[in-house]
A and B are shown apart, each in its own frame.
Chain A
């Protein structure tokens, strides 16, 4: 399993946010993006997930199954939770479970197990809208567990979380890496991963050095 990126560049509007970014991740590897607000972390993640057109460069993924778009092998947890407030948590999760389906090479947890793993096993029957912001974030994370994807792309996963929930997330991420998964994450807080590569983003790749 290998996720390769070569010479990525992307713009937001007219501004070139980053250029010539390359990385190479194998099974169990993690890449953590750091940098200030607006430095292009989210843009890079969305570009890898295939949600954004790249200005230059390409992302390739060779997994255990047949080759496809890299996005299909990814779980993407963005700033928004992608859960419907009107439906119950269980309805939300089981919808995503059937809609995602497992990628080749693994199997997802059941809805009840996933809710247990993020520490909210007892309230999966409630409408998603009844939960607090932190609980909603945890349930959105449970979405990653119900279907198997080798690559996890997490954009500020620990925003709106207390310390204990952060610890739960770190444990789940470590488990995912141990089982051979890949991780791309943008974060302000350190995730507490031992052997993560770090990529510092500046967000001004079109400005000459003298201005920085």
Chain B
């Protein structure tokens, strides 16, 4: 019984009109919360001690690491939406992965740019073809490719299905890319926060990092919901214009 209720709730939400009114109420709260967390996170980021080796440049980490996390989470969200598109053929899922692609590209770009700024003082060069950097760069190219794919097709639902296939193929392919470049060359440090034996990073850095990570995640969801609303409205405008063209014939 509860399960069927959950399903009805879910399909209620999946109705675009419901979605619009619900998100309309949620977004201000979400945006406010994001703003607060960013204020706290940025305050912590700038008041904590600098690293004894890296000095103040370590603060780049507070932007770089959350952006890099999100670049991957965004792709996961898109892959889930892509499944929604292909399995349930739900229009909201189409809208979801279409709206997420530019966000993913933006977060990946932030991660790449801040990484590059961090790399210059640390490694002495803006860019190295290291495993981690290279695979993130490939991810960036895939986001851009998806945006181009979506732009290239007129029919939104067809574009959504085709790009959903591409997203899923990419999702399967990303681990392979990651592996293949891993043995190719590596300079980037190994993961240091999420590890089986606990974080190796000093708690001094960990707190602002976590706050910033949560803030970035909320920022992503806020922007994602807003982008979805825009996309729904854009489609409605398109439908209205087509209708106007049809009506004009009838009157004339």
Which residues of A are interface residues toward B (Cβ below 8 A)?
Answer: 119-120, 122-123, 126-127, 129-132, 134-135, 164
A28 CB → nearest B CB, Å: 29
A123 to B244, alpha carbons, bound, how many Å? 7
Binding site for A on B (CB under 8 A): 154, 241-242, 244-246, 248-249, 251-252
In the bound complex, how far is the Cα of B249 from the Cα of A132, in angstroms? 9
Given contacts A127-B241, A130-B241, A130-B242, whether A122 and B154 have CB atoms under 8 Å apart is no
B241:A135 contact, CB within 8 angstroms: no
In the bound complex, how far is the Cα of B246 from the Cα of A198, in angstroms? 37
**Interface pair B252/A130, CB less than 8 Å apart:** no
Residue of B nearest to A134 (CB): B249
A164–B245 alpha-carbon span in the complex (Å)? 17
Give the residues in chain B near A122, CB-CB below 8 Å. Answer: 244, 248, 251
Q: Which residue of B lies closest to A88 (CB)?
A: B241
Q: Tell me, in angstroms, the Cα distance from A119 to B252 when the chains sit together.
A: 6
Minimum CB–CB distance from B17 to chain A (whole Å) comes to 24
20 contacts between A and B (CB under 8 A): A120-B248, A120-B252, A122-B244, A122-B248, A123-B244, A123-B248, A126-B241, A126-B244, A126-B245, A127-B241, A130-B241, A130-B242, A131-B245, A132-B245, A132-B246, A132-B249, A134-B249, A135-B245, A135-B249, A164-B252
In the complex, the answer to whether B154 meets A129 with C-beta atoms within 8 Å is: yes
Tell me the nearest residue of chain B to A127, going by C-beta.
Answer: B241
Question: Which residues from B are CB-within-8-Å of A164?
Answer: 252
Q: Which residues of A contact B245 (CB under 8 A)?
A: 123, 126, 130-132, 135
Q: Which among B242, B251, B252 has the greatest number of chain A C-beta atoms within 10 A?
A: B252
* Closest B residue, CB atoms, query A124: B248
Complex Cα gap A120–B246 (Å): 11
Q: In the complex, what residues of B have CB within 8 A of residue A119's CB?
A: 252
With CB as the reference atom, state the residue of chain A lying closest to B251. Answer: A122
- Give the complex CA separation of A134 and B154 in angstroms: 20
A55 to B210 alpha-carbon distance, docked (Å): 81
Q: Name the residue on B nearest A130 (C-beta).
A: B245
Q: Given the complex, which residues of B lie within 8 Å of A120, measured CB to CB?
A: 248, 252
Chain A hits for B242, CB < 8 A? 130
For B246, give the chain A residue with the smallest CB separation: A132
Residues of B within 8 A of A129 (CB): 154
- Cβ-defined contact, A135 with B154, below 8 A: no
Distance between B155 CB and nearest chain A CB, rounded to angstroms: 11
Residues of chain B within 8 A (CB-CB) of A126 are 241, 244-245
- Which residue on B lies nearest to A85, using beta carbons? B154
Chain B residues with CB below 8 A from A131, complex form: 245
A164 to B244, alpha carbons, bound, how many Å?
A: 19
Chain B residues closer than 8 Å to A134, beta-carbon distance: 249
Known: A126-B241, A131-B245, A135-B245. 5 other contacts (CB 8 A): A120-B248, A123-B245, A127-B241, A130-B241, A130-B245
Q: How far is the CB of B243 from chain A (nearest CB, A)?
A: 10
Residue of B nearest to A165 (CB): B252
Complex CA distance for A126 and B252, rounded to whole angstroms: 16
A164 to B251, CA, bound (A): 12
> In whole Å, how far is A121's beta carbon from the nearest beta carbon of chain B?
9
Residues of A within 8 A of B246 (CB): 132
